[in-house]
Structure 1
Amino acid sequence: MSQVYLLRHAKAVWPSPGQKDFDRTLDSAGIQSATVLGEEMKRFGLRPDIILCSTAVRARQTLEHIALQPPFIQEDLEKLYSGSADNYLTAIRMAGLEHENAHSVMLVGHNPMMEDVAIALAGRGDPPAHPTFAAGFPTAGLAVIDFAGPLAEIRHGTGTLSTFLSPSEHL
């Protein structure tokens, strides 16, 4: 069995004139919701073996405020900022190939890719399991999708959405 964690970055400030989208930072609500999400992940025992994080500032800050404790393997991937949903799926499979003993991977990235990947992968069960997910993938939202096989072999429509956390809805 394997698991894919899909985490959309927490709420960020709007860019100021001349600021690049890439450099946007978390706002105070984003910092608070990322911290709460980290606490919820610990409470539920959600701990990925591998973390793949977008290189965008807001994604890296989200991961920082979740404050997961190693050991885990962390890699920053530019394609999680600028790539498509297919790039996200490729990143998951490559992580499974490169780290054969890993059973879970968390991607920290952006919409619409996060939502597209979650919908594409969670084909079994009654997706979406969380009512707000039907209206979109909220900031600081975390979808956990279970698969019967290894990470390197996951395919569209073969996963089951087992958990969906969205602390930003409660702040």
Structure 2
Amino acid sequence: MKELLLIRHAKSSWDDASLSDRDRPLNKRGKRDAPFMGSLLRFRGMEPDCMVSSPARRARKTAHLIASKVGYDKDSIVIAEELYLGGTRAIVELVRALDDKNGRVYVIGHNPDLSEAASCLIGESLGQIPTCGIVAIEFPLDSWAHVMEGAGRLKFLDYPKKHLSP
């Protein structure tokens, strides 16, 4: 059994118009939501074997904040360039290339690519994943290489606004 958690980066700040999209930081709500969602994952006993993040500042910070709550070494987070504007196919290919020693993997990235990848992998539309939303998908497979469209089963979709006020 393989388990993939697609995590959209937490809410980012648009306060500094001089920053490139790639360099946008998290805003106050994002800095609150990411550790909260990490705590929920820890409570559920869903610690990762591997974490992979987009190189964008807001995604890396989200990954670091979640890692700190689930007991994952932030220096072990893999940065994957293809998660930044790489498209749905790039996400699916990244998943297929994961090391089979990893049973549960977190992938932290961006919409619309994450939402489209989640819908592709479970074979039904989920709509847009909210900021800091988590889609957990189970695959009854022994190898990530066998992941394909519709092969996954949605375990849950969770996000901060289900639990916290804005």
> Could you tell me the percent identity over the aligned residues?
29
Shift of 1:49: 1.2
Distance (whole Å) between structure 2 residues aligned to residue 100 and residue 137 of structure 1: 27
1:88 aligned partner: 91
Q: TM-score, normalised by structure 2?
A: 0.89
Any gaps of 5 or more consecutive residues in structure 2? none
Do the aligned partners of 1:146 and 1:161 also contact (CA within 8 Å) in 2? yes
Aligned residues: 160
Do the aligned partners of 1:122 and 1:160 also contact (CA within 8 Å) in 2? yes
Distance (whole Å) between structure 1 residues aligned to residue 26 and residue 16 of structure 2: 13
Distance (whole Å) between structure 1 residues aligned to residue 101 and residue 73 of structure 2: 14
Shift of 1:138: 0.1
Q: Among residues 70, 77, 89, which one is paired with 2:80 in the alignment?
A: 77
Shifted more, 17-26 versus 110-119: the winner is: 17-26
1:164 aligned partner: 157
Any gaps of 5 or more consecutive residues in structure 1? none
Shifted more, 69-78 versus 144-153: the winner is: 69-78
The one-letter code of the counterpart of 1:10 is A
Do the aligned partners of 2:37 and 2:159 also contact (CA within 8 Å) in 1? yes
Distance (whole Å) between structure 1 residues aligned to residue 136 and residue 111 of structure 2: 16
Alignment of 1:17-166 (within 5 A): 17-66=17-66, 67=68, 68-70=70-72, 74-95=77-98, 99-123=99-123, 133-134=126-127, 136-149=128-141, 150-166=143-159
Do the aligned partners of 1:54 and 1:81 also contact (CA within 8 Å) in 2? yes
Distance (whole Å) between structure 2 residues aligned to residue 80 and residue 168 of structure 1: 24
Shift of 1:167: 1.2
Distance (whole Å) between structure 1 residues aligned to residue 134 and residue 25 of structure 2: 19
The one-letter code of the counterpart of 1:163 is F
User: Helix, strand or coil for the counterpart of 1:155?
Assistant: coil
User: Helix, strand or coil for the counterpart of 1:82?
Assistant: coil
